[in-house]
């Protein structure tokens, strides 16, 4: 839990999880509303697990695609 | 020729048979046909009728005393064609890594090689109506991972053996098939080195001893050990059970709900679904078993859509939950569902052999006086390590490659929590396991029962490792292998 990269940016991009499949809206789950120690179960240099979601550096502001 | 043993039972003693095959499922019919192709005279016995009957199926009742197990009666069918009458048709070959030397808890793995098992693959695929050259794992673009490869099943229609081979067996001059013919005992010669005869009974109570030069037991993963343990009139512990291995090391393909996922790259998911299997490097480096992680978007929702009388209600809750997020969590408390673009990860994970996971006999008997099975399904810490590792590492690879994001169940992430939701896939394996050394198994490399010169067992029960894949193709491969082996014998 020494890594802090997942705290440094803004909250995980919502749009990253949104899109469409066959015309249906996708993105009803936007898992990250806040990041705190209680919801972070593990982290290393590449991945962090928050609320059970396995996320990467690219999911955080500054490195994501759709931020 | 095809005969009803209720009527034609005296006829069974009129012919001389080279091989008696007990059981008419995929293993038994495959072996019988292959032996006939070598010119052998074959007696094929089926305890059930030509179609389903309660009185036959009742013989499969048993009791579970270990981890919850629901497949004792419903996971198999006791009539002509056996469990091929309701299988789904998914075929797979085990990865070569499954055949590597293995010795956890003093239990070695396969005593034969991958090449020895798959040598009749083209023939097995023809039997199961699987077209083309099937390789198991296929490298597909879009998922370049050092830890996982993409996997595809071969699909059988699925082949119903009774329908495909029924007419052939009726016409056969080499194979005499008797249905309603229940094997109730195996009699050994005086020095106990071989089988002298087997006792067969019909539903009218008439019994007869039938003889052949060789005997093949092909009753399935739970019944194979059951008949060996019940045949205890000359050897109290049962036939082939001198090292107390009959019934031990029961394995299933573990079906564990590890989590759900949300796709992040719709273009990638235009394919039917993504099935990930660990690479050999991962199996070695992590010291785990193998398995299939099935990421098929929305699959469960489709399955639920027409599920039973509550299907309409489930559809309503799903639609409401998906498009009105405020109600989603509430709806999920009533029924599990997925929304378009997400899915529940389905798993088929290899269970390792474990002496404590076993089939034994209870005192209650069936209509033929055979003691029913008592079933104690147990797991090891390594089984849970395999489940957790495959789930976590596949979730990481999905995120790293930006194909999906995975939310894992709390018990997967926290090793202090017990993984309780473990089910099977109806694959009953390992209970008469194959081993070079009688101390570690029941049959040898040729499926011959250790210490009995003319008794063979085929089917999933001979698997010393279960490979984390659907087993039917391997069952047929091993039945063909035995057919060639016995067929070449003079």
> What's the ipTM?
0.82
Better pLDDT: B102 or B162: B162
Stretch B180-202: mean pLDDT, rounded?
98
Q: For the segment B17-50, what is each residue's pLDDT rounded down to a tens digit? A: 999 999 999 999 999 999 999 999 999 999 999 9
Nearest residue of B to residue A64 by CA position? B402
Instruction: Identify all chain A residues contacting B264, using CB atoms and an 8 Å cutoff.
Output: 16-17, 19
For residue B413, the chain A residues in CB contact (below 8 A) are 41-42, 49, 52
**Confidence band, pLDDT 50/70/90 cuts, at residue B314:** low
Which residues in chain A are closer than 8 Å to B318, comparing Cβ atoms?
Answer: none
Q: How confident is the model at residue A25 (pLDDT cuts 50, 70, 90)?
A: very low
pLDDT reported for residue A29? 36
With pLDDT > 90 as the criterion, what percentage of chain B qualifies?
A: 77
**Chain B: which residues have CB within 8 Å of chain A?**
259, 262-264, 266, 269, 297, 322-323, 325, 328, 339-342, 392, 395-396, 398-400, 402, 405-410, 413-414
Determine the pLDDT at residue B263: 78
Q: For residue B322, which residues of chain A lie inside 8 Å, CB to CB?
A: 28
Going by C-beta distance under 8 Å and a sequence separation of 6 or more, which residues neighbour residue B348?
Answer: B253, B254, B255, B291, B292, B294, B425, B468, B469, B470
Contact between chains at B262 and A26 (C-beta distance less than 8 A): yes
Closest-approach residue (CA) in chain A for B268: A21
Q: Do B262 and A17 touch (CB under 8 A)?
A: yes
pTM value?
A: 0.88
Chain A to chain B Cβ contacts (< 8 Å) = 80
């Amino acid at each position: 839990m020494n890594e802090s990269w997942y705290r440094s940016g803004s909250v995980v991009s919502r749009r990253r999880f949104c899109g469409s499949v066959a015309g249906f809206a996708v993105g009803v789950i936007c898992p990250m509303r806040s990041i705190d120690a209680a919801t972070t179960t593990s982290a290393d240099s590449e991945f962090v697990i928050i609320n059970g979601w396995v996320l990467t550096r690219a999911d955080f502001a500054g490195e994501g695609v759709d931020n | 020729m095809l005969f009803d043993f209720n009527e034609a039972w005296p006829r069974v003693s009129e012919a001389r048979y080279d091989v008696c095959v007990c059981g008419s499922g995929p293993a038994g019919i495959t072996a019988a046909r292959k032996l006939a192709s070598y010119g052998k005279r074959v007696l094929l016995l089926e305890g059930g009728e030509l179609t389903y009957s309660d009185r036959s199926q009742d013989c499969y009742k048993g009791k579970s005393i270990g981890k919850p197990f629901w497949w004792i009666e419903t996971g198999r069918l006791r009539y002509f064609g056996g469990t091929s009458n309701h299988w789904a048709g998914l075929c797979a070959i085990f990865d070569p890594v499954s055949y590597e030397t293995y010795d956890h808890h003093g239990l070695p793995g396969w005593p034969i090689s991958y090449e020895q098992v798959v040598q009749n693959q083209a023939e097995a695929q023809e039997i199961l109506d699987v077209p083309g050259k099937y390789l198991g794992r296929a490298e597909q673009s879009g998922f370049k991972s050092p830890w996982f490869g993409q996997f595809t099943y071969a699909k059988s229609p699925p082949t119903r053996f009774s329908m495909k081979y029924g007419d052939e067996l009726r016409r056969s001059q080499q194979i005499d098939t008797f249905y309603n013919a229940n094997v109730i005992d195996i009699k050994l010669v005086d020095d106990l080195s071989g089988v002298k005869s087997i006792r067969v009974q019909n539903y009218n109570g008439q019994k007869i001893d039938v003889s052949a030069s060789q005997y093949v037991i092909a009753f399935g993963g739970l019944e194979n050990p059951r008949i060996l343990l019940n045949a205890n009139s000359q050897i109290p512990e049962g036939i082939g059970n001198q090292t107390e291995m009959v019934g031990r090391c029961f394995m299933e393909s573990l079906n564990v709900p590890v989590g759900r996922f949300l796709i992040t790259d719709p273009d990638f998911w235009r394919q039917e679904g993504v099935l990930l299997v660990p690479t050999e490097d991962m199996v070695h480096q992590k010291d785990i078993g193998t398995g299939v992680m099935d990421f098929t978007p929305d699959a469960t929702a489709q399955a639920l859509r027409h599920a039973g009388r509550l299907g309409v209600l489930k559809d309503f809750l799903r639609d409401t939950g998906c498009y009105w997020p405020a109600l989603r969590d509430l709806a999920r408390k009533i029924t599990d569902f997925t929304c378009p673009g997400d899915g529940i990860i389905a798993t088929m994970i290899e269970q390792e052999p474990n002496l404590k996971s076993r089939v034994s006999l209870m005192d209650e008997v069936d209509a033929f006086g055979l003691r029913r099975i008592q079933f104690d399904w147990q797991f090891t810490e390594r089984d849970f390590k395999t489940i957790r590792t495959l789930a976590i590492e596949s979730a990481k690879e999905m995120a790293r490659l930006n194909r999906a994001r995975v939310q894992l169940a709390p018990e997967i992430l926290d090793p202090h929590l017990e993984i309780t939701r473990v089910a099977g896939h109806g694959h009953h394996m390992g209970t008469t396991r194959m081993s070079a050394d009688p101390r570690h198994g029941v049959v040898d490399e040729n499926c011959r029962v250790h210490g009995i010169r003319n008794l063979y067992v085929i089917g999933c029960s001979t698997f010393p490792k279960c490979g984390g894949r659907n087993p039917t193709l391997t069952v047929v491969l091993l039945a063909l292998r035995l057919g060639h082996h016995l067929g070449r014998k003079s």
